[in-house]
Amino acid sequence: MTWHGVLPIYKPRGMTSHDVVGRIRRIAGQKRVGHTGTLDPEVEGVLPICLGQGTRVVEYIQDLPKRYRGRLKLGIATDTEDQTGTVIEDKPFNRSLVKEEIKQIFSSFLGEIEQIPPMYSAVRVQGKRLYDLAREGKVVERKPRKATIYELTCIDFQNGEYPEIEFDVLCSKGTYVRTLCVDIGKAWDTPAHMTSLTRIESGSFHLESCFTLEEVADLQAKGRLDDALVPIGEAISHFPSLVISEQEGRDVLDGKPIRVDQLVTRDAELIRVYTEAGRFCAIYRLVEDGIAKPEKVFRDVE
């Protein structure tokens, strides 16, 4: 049997996102599996995994904002910008933080920012991954990349020689939270690094609704993998939906244009199309007044 949909997986520490994809391929017994946004090996949390026809909506899920809960330490910098690296600077902070000061510093990072990708990242420069160059002891020039910080909140903090701050951040795709921690340290003119990170939301997927790999394997063994699988249409619920007749549904599955009430789109370019019986048929794009054309048709998903 081929499964179609999205599995909200809780990725543990010590595994790459690709490792998780490999495990799900073996558990589900199918090759067509993909993830929706890389998590570093030492980062845990929400990792939506797409199966079968679900892999065709990866781009729409990975483009959505993501929320993280993390900790940063002031006074120490590492070559990886997180707790896994080698210490490259040690400069005790030696003063007490207060919440208002943290709030003021955090507020300065809200909105669109620029980040220099860390050397230990998967970005390619002249055809080579940065982390491969870093492992060779090389440091190369990297172009800044834009990211957006929607929310940045201090949850708790501890003073001491090397103060630690627990934070919550809602950010755009492509944000390096490790680098954000380093840049927050620079705002205090002190070295800093990230000590832990958990992704608690990825688009509409939340930590509470995730399954461990062991739980997914157990469900599959019991023939109940459907219990964990989110239908494709529901996985992209940020797009407005349109319900059409069964006859119109057959036209949609044949890829024919349809007329759409503009109120349905709510200023969105893409819409989910369902039949009255509840079958998810397609993603359509509004191309002109009242007319939508197929972006992706899902004929093989009942």
Q: How close are the terminal C-alpha atoms of the chain, in Å? A: 13
Q: Of 40, 79, 90, 251, which one is the catalytic site residue?
A: 40
- Tokens 């990349």 correspond to 145
**What is the rounded distance in angstroms from the CA atom of residue 210 to the CA atom of residue 32?**
20
Q: Rounded to whole angstroms, what are the CA distances from 251 to 53, 57, 201, 247, 248?
A: 20, 21, 36, 7, 5
79 carries an active-site annotation: no
Q: How many CA atoms lie within 13 A of 230 on its CB side?
A: 21
The answer to whether the CB of 6 falls within 8 A of the CB of 196 is no
DSSP output for 204-226: TEEGGG-B-HHHHHHHHHTT-GG
Instruction: Tell me which residues are annotated as active site.
Output: 40
